[in-house]
A and B are shown apart, each in its own frame.
Chain A
Amino acid sequence: MTLVVDEAPAGGPAPEAPIEAFTVTLIIRRFDPDVDSEPRWQDFDVQMFATDRILDALHKIKWEQDGSLTFRRSCAHGICGSDAMRINGRNRLACKTLIKDLDITKPIYVEAIKGLPLEKDLIVDMDPFFESFREVQPFLQSNTAPPKDKERIQSVADRARFDDTTKCILCAACTSSCPVFWTDGQYFGPAAIVNAHRFIFDSRDEAASTRLDILNDKEGVWRCRTTFNCTDACPRGIQVTQAIAEVKQAIMRGKP
């Protein structure tokens, strides 16, 4: 990385300016079930560059300061959906949140996503989340075989109907930002509805009515209060609240 300095002498190559590093304070909500009776906040100072991510800060803490810090991450590039966490009160992926986008004059608060059972530090039990995901049958179901030796053809317009919801990476940022999900553990949550939407509006799928029936439940789409927390939280930019509204409309029509 190079920074071009305006006052560089004409002719010669611009001298390389040192990249500025900042001391960033992270306050992390720690919880060790073997030691703590309840979570506690602990602060760490780390040297960071503006282009670093929160995930890099967590790595630095884990590798250089406190090896007991526990968090999930896999790909570190915003596609595996492992490192969703609450950063300064908003659900974000740690690997997609840059230091330069945060106000580093103040400490940065990092905690686990809410609404799911806390296991350790930034790790929560994702089982309830995946249980409601499984319940909406998120797989293609068709009673008819595709044309012989051919794939199932779909028009561009048909594909576009559910394009937005195919982007979901199941990071749980939306579901754990939903105030209804925080108090009502029975609610399917935005992520499950998004993944139901992906198949309900797929022209090749034939189980839409089953899924609509599952979501037309006391704990289904009618629980949604359109707070838009989920849309704000989605690291993939999915219009989650709109997808839920489309499922509501489909239930009222009785078909996708």
Chain B
Amino acid sequence: MATTIETPRAPHSVRRNRGVNWEKWGWIYMRASGVVLLILIFGHLFVNLMVGDGIKAIDFAFVGGKWSDPFWQVWDTLMLWLALIHGSNGMRTIVNDYSTRPLVRKILLGAIAVSAVTLITLGTLVVFTFDPCPAGSPADLLPSFCPVNQ
């Protein structure tokens, strides 16, 4: 029964390139990472500030102890990556919204990208290569719990 009427005009042509829709995935990333970060950050704050001796327990040894545990290495790396990408993507949208001159926009976006990549690289490096008692260091520079001092 239902007859099909031909479109009188050329149909809407898909205008833009059909690559990855970064704007859409960026939008989804912001929401997803936000939820995960909520858990990671509050978990981080709870463990560091409230469990056991609470804030009094935090010192070099506490951080060193945490980073010798693969669980906290993964936790902190995840937090680092998600938070820095989340934050710099937010900065990117602000720049896109408010910078009117193309050159200024390019410089600002470049600066955000460079600082995000630098911080992520350095942070990841520290989390996975952290050694509280590097071999061959003078004993007076090492914390008290290192085997050299015992």
Query: In the docked arrangement, what's the CA distance between A180 and B5, Å?
Result: 40
Is B28 a contact of A252 with CB atoms below 8 Å?
A: yes
Is B2 a contact of A180 with CB atoms below 8 Å?
A: no
Min CB distance A198 to B, Å, is 17
Residue of A nearest to B1 (CB): A147
Does B132 reach chain A (CB closer than 8 Å)?
Answer: no
Does B23 reach chain A (CB closer than 8 Å)?
Answer: yes
Task: Report, as a range, how many residues of chain A touch the other chain.
Answer: 20 to 34
Does A225 reach chain B (CB closer than 8 Å)?
Answer: yes
Does B149 reach chain A (CB closer than 8 Å)?
Answer: no
Query: In the docked arrangement, what's the CA distance between A214 and B12, Å?
Result: 9
Chain A residues with CB under 8 Å of B1's CB are 147-148
Task: Report, as a range, how many residues of chain B touch the other chain.
Answer: 20 to 34
Residues 8-39 of B at the A interface (beta carbon under 8 Å): 11-12, 14, 16, 21, 23-24, 26-28
Residues 124-150 of A at the B interface (beta carbon under 8 Å): 137, 142-145, 147-148
A183 interface neighbour in B4, B21, B98, Cβ under 8 Å: B98
Does B137 reach chain A (CB closer than 8 Å)?
Answer: no
Chain B residues with CB under 8 Å of A70's CB are none
Is B24 a contact of A251 with CB atoms below 8 Å?
A: yes
Is A248 a contact of B27 with CB atoms below 8 Å?
A: yes
Does A179 reach chain B (CB closer than 8 Å)?
Answer: yes
Is B5 a contact of A145 with CB atoms below 8 Å?
A: yes
Chain A residues with CB under 8 Å of B140's CB are none
A183-B98, A222-B27 known; A216 and B21 CB under 8 Å? yes
A218-B23, A222-B23 known; A137 and B12 CB under 8 Å? yes
